[in-house]
Amino acid sequence: MTRKLIEYIDVAKAAQELVDAGKRPAVIAIRALLEKGSYTTISKYLKQWAKENPFEDEPVEVVLPESVVSDAELFLRKIYVVVKARADEQLHYPLQFSLVIRTGRTI
C-alpha cells in the first residue's frame, strides 16, 4: 500500500484555510485537514509557506456589555475594600506595639 503524498500547494491551501477561519496554522491542524502526509513533510512546507506569508496576530478588540463592565468594577471595588482593611489591620498592630514600647503605656 502506498502512502498518499502531499505537495507544497496542499499545505499552503490548508494553512490559508486555517488563517481564514481565524486559527493559527500548525502542523497537527494541517495534518487533520489533509488527512494525509507526514508531519515532517508538512512541517517543511509550512515553514516555507510561513516565510512567504508572514502570519501576524492582530489584536482583537473585545467589547464587553455594559452590565459585565459594571459588575466587574463593583467586584474589584469590593476586593479593594477587603484587601485595604486587611492591610490596615496588619499595619495597625505593629504601630500599636511600637507606641506601647516607646511610651510604656497600654492602649
- The helix (H) or strand (E) run that includes residue 13 is helix 8-20
Q: What separation in angstroms does the CA of 81 have from each of 2, 67, 69, 72, 88?
A: 69, 21, 18, 14, 10
Given a cut of 60, is residue 1 above it in pLDDT? no
Which of 16-20, 52-56, 63-67, 71-75 is modeled with the greatest confidence? 71-75
10 and 37 Cβ atoms separated by less than 8 Å: yes
pTM score, whole prediction: 0.50
| Predicted confidence band of residue 26 (pLDDT cuts 50, 70, 90) | very high
- Looking at residue 66, its pLDDT comes to 94
6 and 37 Cβ atoms separated by less than 8 Å: yes
- Looking at residue 60, its pLDDT comes to 63
